[in-house]
Chains A and B, each alone.
Chain A
Amino acid sequence: MGKILKEKEIIAIGGGKGGVGKSFLASNLGIILAKNQIKTVLVDADLGGANLHTCLGIQAPEVTLSDFVNNTNVRIEDVVLRTSLDNLMLISGAQDFLGIANPKYSQKLRLVRAIENLNVRYIILDLGAGTSNNTLDFFLLADRGVLMVLPEPTSIENAYRFIKSALYRKLRMLTREPQVRAVIEKAMDKKNDLGIQSPIDLIDHISNLNPRLGLQLEEALNSFRPAIVLNQVRSMADVRIGFSMQSACKKFFGLQVDYLGYIENDDQVWQSIRKRQPITLNGDHGKSVRNLRSISYNLLHNLQLKME
């Protein structure tokens, strides 16, 4: 119930693999929301490799997240940038490393709390590639986590690795018991000697050690509900991969994954990226724009694709 009444929602966009279109989705999602008079802030949480401003056609900004993270005297409002749209704001990521690429958990929490205090309805976090703890933490701190996936083996593998890493990190944070943490860390390795192959095995195993904790972990598993978006689909078979991934996640991880939608392969997309003009900004009506709109709609209304 609390979630429905929540005034602000954080949406994190990740995907494990680089170049799958995370920033593309984040920026266009932000634009679509803003054009619908919904106050939104885009946050470039790709610490160390920020380029969301480029996707929006904005020059490299002078104030960035690193100023906020490194200096407790800087307020979040000081690093918020205006964009050409009234309802869209941007917090640019750090351009340089300067130690910010690995903030402490407390720093990340301070960041998220500060962002939550901004006067916006939606906060969109554009995550970096990979499965670093940073990225996973932002993904887990968000209300909705979205994974961008290409219908390609490497991307799908990385997406699964991301889901697994995020889930295990979430489970690990639930307990301080060294014994249980050790089991979870062991389980991350597929060749562990405990015979734990999937999160379901893991929870079974932990339930035997500590039934109460087992229940807690099960609850955590049930509340973890990542969403996927398929990018650059070229056929109905590609579209169907999303449903297949859903079904595989259910069987393997015991997880419910929402299939928000897909984006068709469209020349307009790379052209817009080269021009540094977001595809949804100029009133284009190509297929990818339609796709992005229906993804936004599904995301906002807690809907997902249905098989036809």
Chain B
Amino acid sequence: MKSLRTQNYYDILGVASSASSEEIRRAFELSKVTFQENSLATYSLFTDEENQEILGLISRAYETLFNPQLRREYDDFLEGLKMEGGYEGDRVNDFQPKQARQPLQTKIFQPRDPLSGPSFSQPPSQQSSSRQVSIQPARQSRPEQLRTRPPEAGPLRENAPEQLRAEAPEHLRENAPEQLRAEAPGPEPAPLPLSPDSAEIPKNREALDKYLESVTVFNGPVLKKIRELHGLTLENIAEQTKIRRTYLKYLEEEELTFLPAEIYVKGFIVLMARMLDLPADRVSKDYMDTNYKDKSQ
């Protein structure tokens, strides 16, 4: 028996350490359904917020274990802990991949029990800042006019239509739960989860915030705009996420025919969202709804 805080990535996904990548993918798919909002199996056990936190851990576990290189590194890391006798403890979550010296944006699981000690994975100084999310995830239903896709993705890129710009943030705020609102960005801008050498604070912080407020649906062009406002190139993203540059380009252009299967696209979008300091669940849902809904129904 291990509490969530001390579970390693295999435990979190509920797979054996010998699991094949197919088993890992399946476990990830199941976990996403299990801990999604209003899930029958979890709504009475976990709050929406906890579900989000668990999902964050699950995505991190999946990203690590699904990538053979990272998985090898992680196995070595666990092996190392075992040798030191520190296997059973909070340290199983201290793993840092070699490629990204700082973790991609990940949510931190905050134990509700205040007695259970400090939470893991990041020194306290970073914790408060990385919890800040610059966009509040939309909870429950969005108003009808917002849910429908804007007629042209184009206008959003530069000027969001007037009524969208005025209403969207307000509705989003309304639906955001109390505690999230309390944690919303304070006076300090949230730092970006980038590796030290790729970029510092974006030059365009204000423009970015302003733009984010006007966004209603995260689609390809919107992601492109946000990336540009971060001052990041496709190469920067490709380097960090290990997604091929051409795929990134197609993702932004929503050229689905050139992209791999839906499930991979979803994974890509999650990684991109993390890089851009966006709420990954919201972004991937928007993107998948926009691009795949008709096909799958």
Contacts and interface: CB of A to CB of B under 8 A. Distances in A.
Interface stretch (A95-103, A193-201, A265-273): A193-201
B116 A247 contact: no
A110 interface: no
A201 B114 CA distance: 11
A156 B44 CA distance: 9
**Chain A contact surface mostly:** helix
Contacts of B33: 240, 244
A307 B26 contact: yes
Contacts of B39: 244
B92 interface: no
Contact of B3 (A151, A200, A240, A244): A200
Contacts of A203: 1
A225 to B, nearest CB: 12
B4 interface: yes
Nearest to A217: B1
Contacts of B259: none
Contact of A244 (B2, B30, B112, B114): B30
A210 interface: no
B42 interface: yes
Interface string B37-71: 00111111110000000100000000000000000
Interface in A139-186: 151-153, 156-157, 160
Interface string A201-227: 101110010000000001001100000
Contacts of A254: 1-3
Give the most central of B14, B34, B54, B114: most A CB within 10 Å.
B34
Nearest to B57: A251
Contact of A197 (B31, B44, B113): B113
Interface residues of A, number: 31
Contacts of B26: 307
Contacts of A200: 1-4
Nearest to A237: B33
26 contacts: A151-B40, A153-B43, A156-B40, A156-B44, A157-B44, A160-B45, A195-B115, A200-B4, A203-B1, A204-B113, A204-B115, A218-B1, A221-B1, A222-B1, A240-B30, A241-B40, A243-B30, A243-B34, A244-B34, A244-B39, A244-B42, A247-B30, A248-B46, A251-B54, A254-B3, A307-B27
Interface of B: 1-4, 14, 26-27, 30-31, 33-35, 39-46, 54, 112-116
Listed from nearest, the 8 A-B pairs whose CB atoms lie closest are: A244-B41, A244-B34, A254-B1, A195-B113, A200-B3, A252-B45, A157-B44, A245-B41
